[in-house]
Amino acid sequence: MRKAKRITIDVRAAEVADVDALTRLFTHRNAYAQTLQLPLQSTELWRKRLAEPSDNHHALVATVNGELVGNLGLTRFTRPRRAHVGEIGMAVRDDWQGKGVGSALMKAALELADNWLGLRRLELNVYADNERAIALYRKFGFEIEGTHRAYSIRNGAYVDSLSMARLIEGPRMPTDKRRKSDR
Answer whether 81's CB lies under 8 Å from 97's CB.
Answer: no
Q: Identify whether 42 is part of a domain.
A: yes
**Which residues have C-beta within 8 Å of that of residue 115, sequence separation ≥ 6?**
none
Q: What is the count of structural domains for the chain? A: 1
CATH of the domain at 50: 3.40.630.30
Residue 156 has pLDDT above 80, yes or no: yes
| Domain containing residue 160 | 10-182
Q: Identify whether 138 is part of a domain.
A: yes
Q: Identify whether 131 is part of a domain.
A: yes
Q: Give the pLDDT confidence of 78-125 residue by residue, as tens digits.
A: 898 898 999 999 999 888 989 999 999 999 999 999 999 999 999 999
Task: Pick 179 or 109 by higher pLDDT.
Answer: 109
DSSP H or E segment with residue 137: helix 131-139
Per-residue pLDDT, averaged over 150-175, amounts to 83
Q: Identify whether 5 is part of a domain.
A: no
Angle at 27 between CA 76 and CA 129, to 5 degrees: 65
Q: Give the pLDDT confidence of 8-60 residue by residue, as tens digits.
A: 999 999 988 888 888 887 776 666 666 656 666 767 777 677 777 788 899 99
Angle at 48 between CA 35 and CA 114, to 5 degrees: 60
Q: Distance between CA atoms of 61 and 96, rounded to whole angstroms?
A: 13
**pLDDT at residue number 63:** 95
Closest of 168, 163, 70 to residue 113, by C-alpha: 168
pTM strictly above 0.85: no
Model confidence at 178, pLDDT cuts 50, 70, 90, reads: very low
